[in-house]
Amino acid sequence: MPVYEYHCASCDERFEIVSSLAEREANAVCPVCGGRAVTPVFGGFRVGISRSRLNPGHFERKKGQAPTYKPPAGG
């Protein structure tokens, strides 16, 4: 199940809930004050792939040289 992060406007608490998408609004209650005046917090995320795997050969460089960019074929 996904983890959602919220901020409570009443007590300034930041908290997380584990809930399905369908039930996340019903479960978004501040655990400190019980308030429902909460807003979702959008944080960063990490993608587990390197740019060299995403575009093999586009960012290759030899030791001691600046990287060179090779545009994709037909582009």
Tens digit of pLDDT per residue, the chain (75 long)?
Answer: 788 999 999 999 999 999 888 898 899 999 999 999 999 998 665 556 555 555 555 556 667 766 666 777 775
pTM of the predicted model over 0.75:
no
Give the contacts of 35 (CB within 8 A, at least 6 positions apart). Answer: 8, 9, 10, 11, 29
